[in-house]
Every structure is written in structure tokens, then in C-alpha cells.
Structure 1
Amino acid sequence: MSSNYDSYSTPLSSRYASEEMSKIFSLRNRFSTWRKLWYNLAIAEKEVGLTVISDEAIAQMRQHLDITDEEIAAASKEEAIVRHDVMAHVHVFGNTCPEAAGIIHLGATSCFVTDNADLIFLRDAYDVIIPKLVNVINRLSKFALEYKDLPVLGWTHFQPAQLTTVGKRATLWIQELLWDLRNMERARNDIGLRGVKGTTGTQASFLSLFHGDHDKVEALDQRVVELLGFDHVYPVTGQTYSRKIDIDVLSPLASFGASAHKFATDIRLLANLKEIEEPFEKSQIGSSAMAYKRNPMRCERVCSLARHMGGLLNDAIQTASVQWFERTLDDSAIRRISLPSAFLTADILLSTMLNITSGLVVYPKVIERRVNSELPFMATENIIMAMVEKGGSRQDCHEEIRVLSHQASAVVKQEGGDNDLIDRVKKTEYFKPIWADLESLLDPKTFVGRAPEQTEKFVKVDVAKAIKPYEKYITNEAVSLSV
């Protein structure tokens, strides 16, 4: 006897994704949405003037919009016979609604339900992930404000560079996420419906139904769109809506994947430096062999899935490029995989990032120690300028500090010692005029420029403006992760 453990199921839905996202792309929602499309098509056709559709037919369809398990099983058996998924469901829906059996799918082609349903799912999926992205931005913004004044060693080429602050670094992550939010909003709001276009997009079948009345066909197209809650219909299509729309829909997700990967990679590197870590649960095991380890498994998951999501965009690009004339069917199988996968993956990434950003752990003492180890070298320019103010020569001072810097560097690199440059300055008579000023010249906060001010303005102006429309979705609710 077999069980659910004997067949493969995608980890995207079985292991990681949220229930709300999984439901959007479920078979039950797909087939129930087909029924809603047939129901609204019948309403619109009747309103526009098709008298063959009775009130009883519409009422019966309305009572059975949510498909049952038994009906799904019956449609599956029917499809095995007729080898056509849409017609199998037409037959089953007709059996359930005998008053409507003769008018279900009237004038329509399969893409009326399959394509319009896909567009509904894509918009609904964006409505799930956009609020999650807003919450990631909001939580990172609170983090940025909390640590806007904490000096930290900056890195360029992963080599020590001028100081920044922990909060300012977080704004770099946030800014990319704001762009992702903008891109997702544009893509979501650009989604329209295919509407009622017929087998090759000419609406010939509907023109026949309404005896050559073009105005009624246009009214029908618009009314179906209104009934389904959309504000626009694509003016022209082939049998399908242009697969270029899938590129527009998936591009923001792939771009977000790059932002997520960069954020998670930075946290992984900072974890190695012991400056910042992702949350680590009390009973969590980092390694089966090395008990002391605190592996950044959440950020590693983000990097792993972000790479997968980025690759799915190529599916959409390649598919759009090979659609011949009004359509071919080589788009069907790959879209069944790539479109749900992209949104399930984005959903998982955002849930994981919500968990991470809710509990980032900062180690100020480690950060301070690393800053202090590099600060003497960074202070050389300040020392030179201070000596000039005391009447010294810039060139002479530059040579003095250059020699001492190389000596201190040799202690660090060759002997493994601490940076003793300041001690050398204190022992060198040439620098006696500024000995009393050295402490102020070495204050880390004087090396961060406008980082605190930039952070505060960015969060309170740019971030606040971007997320204000989503205030009702912002929550401090904890996000737990599956294994």
C-alpha cells in the first residue's frame, strides 16, 4: 500500500511556501476559477442580450462555483478519455449544473479559462508577496534607525575601507528592496485580462453569437473584465495572451532574487566576522559534528532559492520568443512549472527574510575591536592635517607617518601582533605637538561622515513614502520557519 511518502512532491509547496500562496496555484483553486470564469461569461452574455441563457442556468452555476473532491476526480477520469483538460471540466460542470450544460463555455476557446485564470493567479500572487516585502523593508528600517550611529568598518573589495555605520549599511539593502517594491507594483498593476477573444483572437465566435453586432462583442469583452474585478483587458491577443507578459511578471521577481541574495550574502560574511548573525534558536543544531557552530542556514536558504528564482525568468524569455503566430502549445508544460515556482519561491524568500530581519543579532564589542584595529591607519590623514595646523610641513609629516605605518603593518602581518601605530606616534618626538589631540583624532564617530544623517533621512522620508500605502499590512508578528 503506497502513501504520500512514496511519490515526489516539490519542496516549494510541501516544505517551505505559505499556505496562502500554495492555495493560489492549487488544483482546486484553478478549477474553481475556471467555473467562475464560465459563470461570469454567462452573466455577461445574458446582460449583453443572449436570450438563450436562463436565470436558472446562472443560478445553478453560482451554487457550484467551488469544485468538490469528487468532481475533481470525475474530471480526471474524463480527461483520460477525451485527452483535453478543459473539456473534461466542461462536461463535469455540466453534469453538476444540468440547466447550464448547454451554455457553459459558449463561444469560448480553452484559453478563455486557462489564460484568464493564470492572469488572475498572477495578480493574486503579487497581492500576497507585496505586503510581505513591505514588512521586510519596515523591519530592516527599524534596524537601520537603531544602529544608525554605530560605527563599523566598511569594506570595498572585501578589504578594509573607510568607516560607515551598521544602520547606513542596512539602508543599502533597503534601497534595493524599495526598487523591488516599485517594480512589483508596476507589474501587478499592469496585469489585465485576456478577456473574450475566441480561438485566434478575432472574436469571430462571439460576433456570430451576436449576429454581427460589433458593439455587443466589445461590451461583452469589457463586462467580463469588470465582473472579474479587473480594470483593463488586453486589446488584441492571439489564441493566448502574449507570453511577453510573463516576462514582465517574472522580471521583478528575478530582480528581487538578486537583492535577496546580496542581503543574505552580506549577513553570511558578517556572521563569519562575528559582527552580525541571523537568529539562532535555543535548541538549533548548527552542525552534526562541530557542536560549537552557528551556521547561517536561513541566509544560505535565501541564497539557494534566489538563484533558482533568477533562472526561472529565462523560461519566460525563451517561451515568449518561440510562440509561432497566434500560438503554439510548447508553452503549456513549462508555464505550469515556472509561473507557480517563481511565486512560491518569492514567497519563501520573503518569509525567510521576515524571520531573519525580526531577530538580527549585532555584536558591538566585536565591531568596535575591528574598527580599532584598522582605525590607526585611517587616522593618518587626520594626523597629517592636525600637524599642518600646528605649523608642520605636509610632506615631512607624510613621510614620518608613512614610515611608522609600514612598521606597524609589519607587526600586524608578519608578527601577528596588534596595530601599534598610535603608540609609535606617541613615542616619536616629531608628533609631540598633537599628542594631546590623538584621542579626539581617533574618535570613530568622526570617521563616518553623514552616515547617521543619511540613514535617518532615508528611512523617515524615502521609506516612509514608499510603504505608507501599505500601513494596514504592517505587522510585528513573529514569522516561524519550517525546517
Structure 2
Amino acid sequence: MASQPDVRLATLLDLPNLTPTKSALDAKYDTYQNPLNSRYCSGEMKYIFSPRNRFSTWRELWVFLAESEKELGLDISDEAIEQMREAMQIQDYEFETAAIEEKRRRHDVMAHVHTYGLAAPAAAGIIHWGATSCYVTDNADLMFLRDALDIVLPKLAAVIQRLSVFAKEYRDLPCLGYTHGQAAQLVTVGKRATIWIEDLLDDLHNLEHARDRLLSKFRGVKGTTGTQASFLAIFKGDHAKVKKLDELVTEKSGFVAASRSTTQTYSRKIDVDVIHALSSFGCTAERVGGDIRHLAMFKELEEPFEADQIGSSAMAYKRNPMRSERLCSLGRNLSNISGAAEQTYKSQWLERSLDDSAIRRITLPESFLCADACLILLNNISSGLVVNKAVIKQRIDLELPFMATENVIMAMVDKGYSRQDTHEEIRVLSHQAGAVVKQEGKANDLIERIRRTAFFEPVLGNLEALTDPSTFIGRSPEIVDEVIEFDVRPALEKYEVQIGRIADAVGELKV
């Protein structure tokens, strides 16, 4: 990734018919702004897909090409290389020059070849020597995918780390489990968090795999249809030099290897695989956000809420789970982007067709911007989850007597009583208690009914132990410990330093 300048110039100069003027820059409040860019994402992610980074990376690739061609014997002067290096970072005024040239030529790459040549006149005749447009556009896109994954992965690791701390803290706090949306056997607050952690770990591994594979799939120096014919001509039929040129540029660009066979472009299958991993993470984001919203509805769990935050313009008492709702919304959008990548790959014709261009300008940046937004939210939410223990206990007290009936039945059988007879006694008392809860709105008094029934006298001395919530959570605490020790720790070890930096920054986030 080209170095990021200390400027804050927002430019729309990707369009061939736009010349930057003061009025154009002043009109930002009259022009649609993508909310991913204006509201939700980090500056570092937005910079990767910015015009400045795009065109500076093109120049970087032209430098790599010229350097490598010179190393292999082509007549390129030291002065040309030096001027190219000095002008590698595109300057503000050059955007206007390139926009005017693109409007004239209707070709973005040639417009920037011309603009770069003005900044490095000694190199004007050798910039882009032997290359096709996709040398810069496609190789740059692969570099952006790599660099964007390098931002996503540590942020995801930080979310997993935060949730692991949360899970450890509440590893043995019983709470209602739910199946079919109904109260079921108890789990713990920490155990439920490990479900989210396991899914996020899968996302981490998927994205790591996508990045590792990407590093060996550089497009490199392949020519117009992937045959390297132009470079073979330049090097007078020397196949070894053409292969070496490809290797040199690939290495300078920070990749392990290049694809052996490409068309004019790198295979759009690569986009599919990367965006699949991102879209899968989007599904996880919506799932986690949905769980938190349900628990907030029950008042068991709440996301962070700032001192001056307003939950509702009309209802001042409300504490809406707006971060989790936004997370669900963005996660849903991210999970749907994979379809566009699939359709683009399937629609390519033979050695190339340009119907992939406009859609990839949207799907590639937006998939990463959306993932970045989800990760900012997840880091913020997981940094301040509020557990309402009193509400959790209240909800357990409402349901646990019914769940404890199996323990009571087993204890009676252990004392020599008939299971069927005990079941019938419990059934009658349970329906009576259920009517009190549902029709009269009172507390669940099933345990008191059992205490007052002579039939259950053999187990009354042990009734408190039979209804202790901690006896209903199974191995939940141990599962939390095992997930953290055997799944989380090995996966996050490589991100330890980056997680620390993110932890320092999250406290300052206003989401």
C-alpha cells in the first residue's frame, strides 16, 4: 500500500467527465454520500480504496516494472527510475491533469500514464513498457485485497479476544437457554458467548486462508491475453528473462508467487473466494447482533450506552440496542455481496470482457468497508456488554421449577417410588402452577406446591439442591475454559501486539 499522506482531500475524480473545481468540492452536501464512507468506516480502510492510494499504487507498479526491466538489460536510464520513484505519490494538482486527459482519451490508465510522464519526463517513453492496462489495475486490486485483509484480520481477532474475556468472566453464571424461541435447559452467559466465538473463529480461519491463497495468486506480468507475447518480443524471444521479469515484479509487490496462467485479468474467481469469506463473516455479524437484540428485549443483556446517548426521540426512558441493530443491517448487506461477485465471475467471456469493471468498483471496496464497519461495531459492543444478573435470576425463577421436575422425578424413583405415579403427581401440580403464571400473572409456585404435597415427603429435604440453578448448566464452565484454551489462544497468538493496539483505540470510539 502506498504511504498515506497527511492530507484530507476528498476527491470524486474517478469519473472521466469531472474536473475538480471549488464549486464541485463545496457541493458535497448536495451530492449523495455513501454512508459506508461518510458514517461507518475507519480512515485506514477508506484510504486503501481511495483515488490517491489507487493511482499511487499504479505508479508503484510502474516503478517495479521499469526497475525489473532495467535489471534484465533493457535500456532504461537511472535518471528515469529516479524520477519515477520521486513522483510515485500522486499530488493533488495531478488529479485534475489526469481527469482532463481521461475526458479527452476516455481511458483512465492512459490518462495516468500521461500524467506520470509529466512528473517523470525522463521516463515518459518507458512507463508501461510492454504492459496492458490490467497490469496496473488488476495487480493493484490484488494488493488492495491483501492490505484490506491485513486490516480486517487483527480487528476480528480483537473481537474474539474481548468476547473471550467476557465468556471467562461469566463462565458459570446460569441463564435460560432457548430453543424454538422458548425457554429450555439452562446454559451460562459465558457458554452462550462461546457460540459466537466459535463462529468468529471460523471467519478468522476463512479470511486467513483467503489471504494466504491470495499471496500466491498475483497477476504479475502477463500481457494482453495472458501469453506474455509483448514481453517476449521486448526480450527478443528470451523466455527465461520473461519468466524472471514476472518473478521480480511479483516479489517487489510483496507476493509469494503469481498465477501461472491468466487471461488479460486475474481470475475473478479470486474475488469470489475473498468476498465469500467476508460475506460469511457478515452472516455471523447479523447472528451475533440478533442474539444481543433478543437478550436486550428480555433485559438480560445490554450493549454499551453512553451517558448522553438518546434512545428515543419520543420515549426518553428507552435504551434501544441501536449498535446491534446497525450490526445486523450491515451484516445483512455484507452477506449479500457474494452474489454479485459470483455473477461477475460467471459472466466473463474468454480472455476478458469489460462488464466486470463497473460492478467491481462497487463490490470490492464496499465488501471491505462493510466488514470494517461491522468490526468497529463488534469491538465497541463487546467492550462494554452489560449483564443484568437480577433480571436473569428473575427469569430463571419463573421457568426453573418446571425444568426441575425431571430432577424431582429421578430422586423419587431413587427412593423406590414409581416413575409413572410421580410423573402424574408432577403433571397435575405443574398445570396448576402454569395457570397461576399465565392467567393470574403471579410467580411460579410449583416448588411450594411440591413442598405442600405429602407424596413428595421423601425428597423434601433435598428439594433445594434439586432446584439449584448451578446443577442445570452441565459442563458450561468447562466448555468455556476449553474453548479459550484450545481454540482461542492458538488462533490469536500471532495477533497479540495488534490486539493490544486495538484495545487502546476502542475506548475512544464513538459508534
TM-score range relative to shorter protein: over 0.9
Larger relative contact order (C-alpha < 8 A, sep ≥ 6)?
A: 1
Tell me the amino acid that sits aligned with residue 437 of structure 1: N
Q: Tell whether 2:21 aligns with 1:6.
A: no
Task: Please state how far the C-alpha of 1:428 moved relative to its aligned partner.
Answer: 0.5
Q: How does 1:163-202 map to 2 (within 5 A)?
A: 163-191=186-214, 192-202=217-227
Match of residue 358, structure 1, among 383, 389, 394: 383
Corresponding residue of 1:18: 42
Match of residue 154, structure 2, among 117, 122, 131: 131
**Paired residues of 1:387 and 1:433 also in contact (CA < 8 A):** yes
Q: Tell whether 2:96 aligns with 1:73.
A: yes
Task: Please state how far the C-alpha of 1:254 moved relative to its aligned partner.
Answer: 0.3
Q: Tell whether 2:118 aligns with 1:95.
A: yes
Corresponding residue of 2:456: 431
- Matches of 1:385 and 1:304 in 2, distance apart? 47
**Paired residues of 1:426 and 1:435 also in contact (CA < 8 A):** yes
Match of residue 297, structure 1, among 316, 322, 327: 322
Task: Please state how far the C-alpha of 1:407 moved relative to its aligned partner.
Answer: 1.1
Q: Tell whether 2:175 aligns with 1:152.
A: yes
Corresponding residue of 2:108: 85
- Matches of 2:61 and 2:416 in 1, distance apart? 84
- Matches of 1:416 and 1:369 in 2, distance apart? 14
Corresponding residue of 1:442: 467
Q: Tell whether 2:143 aligns with 1:107.
A: no
Match of residue 441, structure 2, among 413, 416, 428: 416
- Matches of 2:102 and 2:112 in 1, distance apart? 8
- Matches of 1:9 and 1:432 in 2, distance apart? 72
Task: Please state how far the C-alpha of 1:391 moved relative to its aligned partner.
Answer: 2.0
- Residue by residue over 1:22-58, the C-alpha shift from the partner in whole angstroms, topping out at 9 and shown as x without a partner, is 00000000000000000000011111221x2111110
Task: Please state how far the C-alpha of 1:482 moved relative to its aligned partner.
Answer: 4.9
- Matches of 1:9 and 1:78 in 2, distance apart? 26
Match of residue 58, structure 1, among 68, 71, 81: 81
Runs of 5+ consecutive residues of structure 2 not aligned to the other structure: 1-22
- Matches of 2:283 and 2:507 in 1, distance apart? 22
Seen in structure 2, the aligned counterparts of structure 1 residues 304 and 412 have a Cα distance that, compared at 3 Å, is: same
Corresponding residue of 2:15: none
Tell me the amino acid that sits aligned with residue 354 of structure 1: N
Q: Tell whether 2:233 aligns with 1:208.
A: yes
- Matches of 2:104 and 2:186 in 1, distance apart? 70
Q: How does 1:250-329 map to 2 (within 5 A)?
A: 250-329=275-354
Q: How does 1:325-404 map to 2 (within 5 A)?
A: 325-404=350-429
- Matches of 2:103 and 2:509 in 1, distance apart? 39
Task: Please state how far the C-alpha of 1:213 moved relative to its aligned partner.
Answer: 0.8
1:330 aligns to what SS in structure 2?
helix
- Matches of 1:310 and 1:480 in 2, distance apart? 28
Corresponding residue of 1:241: 266
- Matches of 1:3 and 1:261 in 2, distance apart? 35
Corresponding residue of 1:36: 60
- Residue by residue over 1:418-465, the C-alpha shift from the partner in whole angstroms, topping out at 9 and shown as x without a partner, is 111111101111001111111111110000000001111111221101
CA RMSD of superposed structures (Å): 0.9
**Paired residues of 1:250 and 1:342 also in contact (CA < 8 A):** yes
**Paired residues of 1:145 and 1:167 also in contact (CA < 8 A):** yes
Percent of aligned positions that are identical: 61
Q: Which moved more, 1:350-359 or 1:397-406?
A: 397-406
- Matches of 2:499 and 2:334 in 1, distance apart? 25
Tell me the amino acid that sits aligned with residue 460 of structure 2: W
**Paired residues of 1:352 and 1:481 also in contact (CA < 8 A):** no
Task: Please state how far the C-alpha of 1:411 moved relative to its aligned partner.
Answer: 1.3
- Residue by residue over 1:37-92, the C-alpha shift from the partner in whole angstroms, topping out at 9 and shown as x without a partner, is 00000011111221x21111101101110000111110011000000000000001
Seen in structure 2, the aligned counterparts of structure 1 residues 480 and 11 have a Cα distance that, compared at 3 Å, is: farther
- Matches of 1:172 and 1:327 in 2, distance apart? 43
Tell me the amino acid that sits aligned with residue 94 of structure 1: G
- Residue by residue over 1:9-33, the C-alpha shift from the partner in whole angstroms, topping out at 9 and shown as x without a partner, is 2111111110000000000000000
Q: Which moved more, 1:102-111 or 1:433-442?
A: 433-442
2:435 aligns to what SS in structure 1?
helix
**Paired residues of 1:167 and 1:452 also in contact (CA < 8 A):** yes
**Paired residues of 1:207 and 1:213 also in contact (CA < 8 A):** yes
**Paired residues of 1:15 and 1:482 also in contact (CA < 8 A):** no
- Residue by residue over 1:129-155, the C-alpha shift from the partner in whole angstroms, topping out at 9 and shown as x without a partner, is 100000000000000000001000000
Task: Please state how far the C-alpha of 1:479 moved relative to its aligned partner.
Answer: 4.3
- Matches of 2:508 and 2:306 in 1, distance apart? 11
Q: Which moved more, 1:265-274 or 1:185-194?
A: 185-194
Tell me the amino acid that sits aligned with residue 26 of structure 1: S
Tell me the amino acid that sits aligned with residue 400 of structure 1: E
- Matches of 1:481 and 1:10 in 2, distance apart? 21
Tell me the amino acid that sits aligned with residue 28 of structure 2: N
- Matches of 1:78 and 1:479 in 2, distance apart? 46
Task: Please state how far the C-alpha of 1:3 moved relative to its aligned partner.
Answer: 2.9
- Matches of 1:250 and 1:480 in 2, distance apart? 30
Task: Please state how far the C-alpha of 1:367 moved relative to its aligned partner.
Answer: 0.3
**Paired residues of 1:253 and 1:309 also in contact (CA < 8 A):** yes
- Matches of 1:479 and 1:260 in 2, distance apart? 21
Deviating above 6 A after TM superposition, structure 1's stretches of 4 or more consecutive aligned residues are none
Tell me the amino acid that sits aligned with residue 281 of structure 1: E
- Residue by residue over 1:229-278, the C-alpha shift from the partner in whole angstroms, topping out at 9 and shown as x without a partner, is 11010111101111111001100110000111010000000001000000
**Paired residues of 1:354 and 1:479 also in contact (CA < 8 A):** no
1:200 aligns to what SS in structure 2?
coil
TM-score (norm. length: structure 2): 0.93
Count of aligned pairs between the two proteins: 482
